[in-house]
Structure 1
Amino acid sequence: MAGTSPGITTGALARRLGVSPTTIRSWEQRYGIGPATRPDGKHRRWTPSDVAMLEEMCRLTASGIPPAEAARAARSNRGEPSGAGEESPAPAPSGSAPPPDHGPAGGGGLPLGDVRQECRGLARAAIRLDAPAMETLLEQAISDYGIVTAWEEVMVPTLHAVGRKWESSNDRYVEVEHMLSWQVSTVLRRAATASTGRPMPPVLLACVPSETHTLPLEALTAALSERGLATRMLGGAVPAEALDAAVRRCGPAAVVLWSQARSTASHALARHVAGVTFGLRGARTAPLVLLAGPGWAGRAPDSGMLRPRGLREALDSLSRVYGEPVPEPERRSAAGPEPLGTDRPPMSPTAAGRP
């Protein structure tokens, strides 16, 4: 029709959506989610209604909905019957593997395993570099489950899957890892509050010198704030002198020291912090020191220190310092996942490793 916009090419649509052209072609072949019109002898052109349909497809898959179901819903929103354009796949030969589902990244699916649906949506959004979708999904997870469960069962599995993909794909997906880490950090910092309004000595949190993995401490900071406990977060790679000065100035009830690798764990520094005293003469106190992270593994903590096995155990230990009750719903058996301080392999060097 004269004056009608010819639409955009598949390549331009792929760039707009943050997926590969192969993914778009795969969606069309598998789920019948293609352009409404196909000019004879010409390349596919995607009209505004087609683009809106694909954007809805991306939105739905980012929320964790399986691609086939998302395609049916997206086509329905465009006004097509739910089965329109969908061809029945030819039966596979006996014993053969099913055709691969490229998902939203054209073969870039993440090795998630048995996880919550929210993880799959978050992974799809991460592969597409869809920052708004990631932020929405992460905030919804915190709202639905609280900081601890959102961290253990949504954020950590997805971060680890990205790390495994990075390690197995010749340094690809570093940009995915960086953006996912940034979005996780953003929502955790937003969830944390600087002051609780109650006068109390704070929990001081810091990475040991040369250690830049801050995300687990950011999760603990947010979880402490969720329980109404005061925190002071110093961040990554805190010099020993600066840590000593902060302890003496803040007079914390507890100090959490994070070490991701044994090469950064300094037991001498931990003993020094545990020995710092403050307060009035005759009533001086010293902070409880929590050795958090896999870097402290292989050695029993000294007197005045604890080595929590995970985020929940650290959170409960710190709550008891203040005489706070441990919420019953957050209790977990020793067999449960403990992503804060376990001896599991660390995330890849880029994950949460920003200065």
Structure 2
Amino acid sequence: MTTGQLARLLGVSPTTLRSWDRRYGLGPAVRANGRHRRWSPDDVAMMRKMCHLTATGVSPAEAARLTQRHAPHADMAGAPGGETLLAAHGDDAEPMARHEQAGSGLPLGHVRLECRGLARAAVRMDGREVQQRLREAVAAHGPALAWEEVMAPALRAVGRKWQSSGERYVEIEHLLSWHISTTLRHRYVESSAHGDRRALALPLVLACPAGEYHTLPFEALAAVLADDGLTVLTLGGAVPPDALMNTVQRVAPAAVALWSQTRPTADLRLARRVAATRWGVRGARSSSPVLLCGPGWRSPTDGSGDLRHVKSLREAVRVLTEFQRRCAPVR
């Protein structure tokens, strides 16, 4: 296999493979005609191991040590560019991490190893590894912590990189967003099907106002609520006002949560209209409190008890849980 073929197989650039060879001696055991790289099945297995380790957050230098320790072709000290070169760079784990952040990597700062591994897989455009990292994070920590400490920091880093690099990193943001959405929705569906359902409880309605398409934070909220056994009805992004009003009248929600990422989509008039909507049979009509979520909203200034502004995922979960548990079951 040529270097280009291996790079396509692993989802990395040929430059990355050459860099790992030059820095750590992770090259093919045999070179055709003395110069041209040809990667054998053992070489491919070794590089798969290297990619897997870096995707889990291990520094490239440490990943190279571990990979060479278990390499199929044993005597790395005798291989050209092997142990001697690795020893020359043996203590460069931290400088390498700084190099990645300043160059092709993402400006993550102090984050969990799972977040660092997720970001590295995203930068390599390794969709399979991105999905695996996300599944493992949600399985290990639950959707709330996985969102707050793994997914959201990686997304913010991509956003910062995109702003400073023009359009170069937009494909990474799309890849990461798509896989995060897939993971959160899968958790929501799975929890809704197998969780401790309160089948008779009034649902919690989650929606974004017209013009708002940033749905990932709300998908995280839906996954966390479903994980906690609450009944949730999600309408997604850019819901027309009349559609939202019709939904409130039809399903009589315990509460309505509206997400706005930006000021232009934070329609306070719509929020008040939803809060004032009456539903139920004549003589026993009621209304639904409205939760304003996201950085687009300003705190309501009218003191209305039907509008409540929350500033974090945890606060939204606590308030919505309280709203649903207050409602008596209906037949």
1:116 aligned residue: 112
Give the aligned partner of residue 211 of structure 1: 212
**8 Å CA contact retained: 1:301, 1:307:** no
SS at match of 1:200: coil
Inter-partner Cα distance in structure 1 for 2:203 and 2:95: 55
Contact 1:271 1:302 (8 Å CA) reproduced: no
Give the Å deviation of 1:83.
Answer: 6.5
Tell me the CA shift for residue 271 of structure 1: 0.4
Corresponding residue of 2:5: 12
Quote the RMSD (CA, aligned, Å). Answer: 2.4
Residues 20, 106 of structure 1: 8 Å contact kept: no
Q: What TM-score do the two structures reach when normalised by structure 1?
A: 0.82
**Which whole-Å CA distance do the structure 2 matches of 1:231 and 1:91 have between them?**
52
Stretch moving more, 48-57 or 307-316: 48-57
| In structure 1, distance between residues paired with 2:251 and 2:23 | 60
The offset of 1:282, in angstroms, is 2.4
TM-score (norm 2): 0.88
Q: Alpha carbons of 1:238 and 1:119: their partners in 2 closer, same or farther (altered >3 Å)?
A: same
Displacement after TM superposition at 1:100 (Å):
7.3
In the aligned structure 1, how far is the partner of 2:140 from the partner of 2:179?
Answer: 18
For structure 1, list consecutive stretches of 5 or more residues without a partner in the other structure. 1-7, 325-355
Structure 2 residues not aligned, in runs of 5+: 327-331
Indicate yes or no: 2:136 matched with 1:140: yes
Mean CA deviation greater in 148-157 or 289-298: 289-298
CA distance in 2 between partners of 1:274 and 1:205 (Å): 14
Please name the residue that 2:312 is paired with: 310
The 5-angstrom pairing of residues 53-72 of structure 1 reads 53-72=46-65
Q: 2:264 aligns to what SS in structure 1?
A: coil
Change (3 A) 1:13 1:278: same
CA–CA separation in structure 2 for the residues paired with 1:144 and 1:187 = 13
Tell me the residue number matched to 2:124. Answer: 128
Q: CA deviation at 1:197?
A: 4.8
Change (3 A) 1:298 1:286: closer
SS in 2 for 1:199: coil
2:272 is paired with a residue whose SS is helix
Give the drift of 1:39. 3.6
- Cα distance in 2 for partners of 1:312, 1:64 equals 26
In structure 2, the CA distance between the partners of 1:247 and 1:81, relative to structure 1 (3 Å rule), is farther
Work out whether residues 185 and 215 of structure 1, in 8 Å CA contact, stay in contact via their aligned partners in 2: yes
Match of 2:164 in 1: 168
* Residue 18 of structure 1, CA deviation: 1.4
Measure the CA separation in 2 of the matches of 1:22 and 1:139: 29
In 1, the alpha carbon distance for the partners of 2:293 and 2:77 equals 53
The alpha carbon displacement at 1:28 in A equals 1.1
User: 1:89: how far off?
Assistant: 3.0
- The answer as to 2:240 corresponding to 1:239 is yes
1:269 matched to 2:270? The reply is yes
Moved over 4 A (4+): 81-84, 97-103
Amino acid at match of 2:222: T
Aligned partner of 1:177 in structure 2 is 173
Percent identity between the aligned chains? 51
The answer (yes or no) to whether the contact 1:259–1:292 under 8 Å persists in 2 is: yes
Q: Deviations over 1:93-146 (max 9, x none)?
A: xxxx9577665x994201000000000110111112222211221111111111
Q: How far apart are 1:224 and its partner, in Å?
A: 0.5
Contact 2:299 2:309 in 1 (8 A): no
Larger mean Cα displacement after TM superposition, 58-67 or 219-228: 58-67
The number of equivalent residue pairs is: 312
Cα distance change of structure 1 residues 141 and 300 upon mapping to structure 2, 3 Å threshold: farther
Question: Contact 2:203 / 2:253 at 8 angstroms: preserved in 1?
Answer: yes
Judged with a 3 Å threshold, the aligned counterparts in structure 2 of structure 1 residues 299 and 253 are, in CA distance, closer, same or farther, namely closer
Q: Deviations over 1:294-347 (max 9, x none)?
A: 1103653651111111100000001111338xxxxxxxxxxxxxxxxxxxxxxx
Q: Note the 1:1-355 alignment, pairs <5 A.
A: 8-79=1-72, 80=74, 85-86=82-83, 87=85, 88-89=87-88, 98=95, 107-193=103-189, 194=192, 196-297=197-298, 299-300=300-301, 302-303=303-304, 304-323=306-325
Point out the structure with the larger helix share.
2
Question: Structure 2 counterpart of 1:52, which letter?
Answer: A
Contact 2:300 2:307 survives alignment (8 Å): no
